[in-house]
Structure 1
Amino acid sequence: MSNFLGKRLRIGIAVPSTNTSAQPEMDDMRPFDVTNHIARIVIEDDSLTHQAGFNKVIEDIRRATPDAVRSLRHCGLAAIIAAVSPDGYWKGREAHLALHRELTVAGGGPKIITSADAITSALEALGGVRRIGLISPYLELGDEPVSRFFADSGIEVIATHGLGGRTPSNISHVTLADLRDAVVNVNRPEVEAVVQVGTNVPMAAFAQMAENWIGKPVLSNNAALYWHALRSCGISDPIPDRGVLYEKH
């Protein structure tokens, strides 16, 4: 007998234990009869202000994600979102594919949705975007691994703006003015789309507003992840107030 809730689709979402943005944003994007089921990727709230601390956070995420995914395997899910930034999974394409296989085994069969795949799929859906303005959640030292992810994918980063997150939990402490300034700073004439990474940055609703005044696609990390999960599982509902990606693709 079918579950009374989640008749159309059940999605697992593994989020870092410091993350307070991904779950509420993805809950706001749920179509009718789709349910979300949360697991925590247990990490410490270490400093992101120096290289050793930044590396430790990334390695802790990589280490703890399979266990979080494994905890969702009995929920009858069609997809599991690993709700972390691209740099959390990108250390060369082969390393990404190996980890994707590991998470698929840990999840017991559901599709595994990562930022690395979701964002590149979204840029393809938007017409094969190849020049972006990039908004990062980090201080300058964290911008390079994020930019490398896009460069390795054949996407040119025209401009970068870091939001200055000092710890994983602190990443969510942004204001609308911070997000506005970030969009303005990366929106160069040659930029085809603005991309925000960092799943603890609460930018999904603001991204849609920003599209209206710059006249270009603005992708938030959480919106791209959830869109990719829905579309990969055959849910094609347009979702209002979430921008051109949800409304037309």
Structure 2
Amino acid sequence: MGDVLGYRRLLGVIAPSTNTTVQPEMEWMRPEGVTNHFSRIFVEDPVALNNEDFIAGTTAIAENTLDAVRSVMTCRPDYLVLGMSAITFYGGVQGSLDFKQKVEDVAGVGASTGAESVAAALKAYGVRTVSFVSPYYPVANAEVRRFLEESGFSVVRDVPLECKRWTDIAKVTPQRLREVIDHLDGPEVDAIVQVGTNMSMVRLAAEKEATLGKPVIAINTATYWHGLRACGIDDKVQGLGRLLAEF
């Protein structure tokens, strides 16, 4: 007998303990027969006032990730969806692959990371030039830019919102993000990307994608989509953007 509720797949979803966005947003995307099982990476909610503070905070997340992986694996999920983003971009493509390998070695199952999922989504759309917004400090935006460029994309513009606390990221309003998206857009931009998993943009991205007529990709959408497709779940989820509805 298989799992009564998760009879198609059990997904382990990993995110920082301060994150209040990944869990509800990924529930919106969950098809029938797939269940999400959340595990939190313990991290403090420090004040970040500069690049160095931000890097220290994300390093703490990286160091505690494997404990959260070990915890969620006790429910025997089929696959992991990693709902943290900054650390998955660090070190370019190779750094991203190395981080993913560490997780998979401990888990014994596959995992989708934010960085690889964004790249896969952009390739699915067939775009080349992008702009992106993050809640990060400039030092982390530089890592995102490096990863995207190494993955074959040209970055036109980026905006680091420099949120002071991890919990502040969830307080960035849709109105503020609309203003940033308008700044990031332009005729030379094929797609707009949002990174930073505690910044809620799944529904706003779908809205702006419809009005702009070009891809607007929220990282939580991309990562969950990537996880579903990696597990052979091809359901088309409506109302949350073209990525889940068409690809």
Return the TM-score normalized by structure 1: 0.94
**Alignment pair present for 1:27 and 2:32:** no
Query: How far apart are residue 97 of structure 1 and its match?
Result: 2.4
In the other structure, the counterpart of 2:121 is 122
**Alignment pair present for 1:92 and 2:130:** no
Query: How far apart are residue 228 of structure 1 and its match?
Result: 0.3
CA distance, structure 2, for counterparts of residue 186 and residue 118 of structure 1: 21
Query: How far apart are residue 87 of structure 1 and its match?
Result: 4.0
In the other structure, the counterpart of 2:191 is 193
CA distance, structure 2, for counterparts of residue 159 and residue 89 of structure 1: 17
Tell me if structure 2 keeps the 8 A contact 1:134–1:161.
yes
CA distance, structure 2, for counterparts of residue 47 and residue 146 of structure 1: 22
CA distance, structure 1, for counterparts of residue 55 and residue 17 of structure 2: 17
Choose the corresponding residue for 2:150, options 149, 152, 157: 152
Structure 2 gaps, min length 5: none
After superposition, the CA RMSD in angstroms is: 1.4
CA change 1:54–1:88 in 2 (3 A) is farther
Tell me if structure 1 keeps the 8 A contact 2:7–2:34.
yes
Tell me if structure 2 keeps the 8 A contact 1:205–1:242.
yes
CA distance, structure 2, for counterparts of residue 101 and residue 140 of structure 1: 26
In the other structure, the counterpart of 2:83 is 83
Return the TM-score normalized by structure 2: 0.95
In the other structure, the counterpart of 1:163 is 161
CA change 1:96–1:140 in 2 (3 A) is closer
Query: How far apart are residue 242 of structure 1 and its match?
Result: 1.0
Query: How far apart are residue 10 of structure 1 and its match?
Result: 0.9
In the other structure, the counterpart of 1:59 is 59
Q: Which structure has greater helix proportion?
A: 2
Report the identity percentage.
37
Tell me if structure 2 keeps the 8 A contact 1:65–1:82.
no
In the other structure, the counterpart of 1:134 is 132
Q: Deviations over 1:186-226 (max 9, x none)?
A: 01111111100000001001100001111101100100000
Tell me if structure 2 keeps the 8 A contact 1:15–1:41.
yes
